[in-house]
Amino acid sequence: MGGGLEDEEVVQVSLEREFKEAFEVCPICGGELAEKRVEKLLRGGPNMATITVEAMVCLRCGERFYPEETVKRFENLRARLARDETDGLELVGGAYEAR
Ligand SMILES: [Zn+2]
């Protein structure tokens, strides 16, 4: 990497502002939205990973809205999990399913 980091940050800030303006109220219930850091559980094949991201969260119905860029990160991570490509991911425990 290196070099282009500053440019990248500028782009991200403007994207986030646009995103926030697009979601002033919840499109589902009309409730108030708040910007929050949320933990999202992603599943790909036999693997699962959690990722903490910023989202707009409806204070009434609890629905979360993610910027397009974040949704792409989710898709990317799901695809990597499905292919068992866990480089760069930290193993924090096993996953269990109750039957
Ligand atoms: Zn809502």
Q: Containing domain of residue 17, as a range?
A: 5-82
Q: For residue range 55-67, list pLDDT tens digits in order.
A: 999 999 999 999 9
Domain total for the chain?
1
* Mean local confidence (pLDDT), 43-51: 93
pLDDT score of 11 more than 80: no
Q: What is the CATH number of the domain that holds 16?
A: 3.10.20.860
Residues 32 and 63 sit within 8 Å (Cβ to Cβ): no
Residues whose Cβ atom is located within 5 A of ion ligand 1: 26, 28-29, 31, 58, 60-61, 63
| Domain contains 69 | yes
**Span from the CA of 20 to the centroid of ligand 1 (angstroms):** 15
pLDDT band for position 94 (50/70/90)? confident
Dist CA 82 CA 11 (whole Å): 30
Model pLDDT, residue 2: 44
pLDDT band for position 1 (50/70/90)? very low
pLDDT score of 12 more than 80: no
**Span from the CA of 93 to the centroid of ligand 1 (angstroms):** 33
Nearest of 23, 36, 40, 22 to residue 76 by alpha carbon: 40
β-strand pairing of 33-44 with 47-58: antiparallel
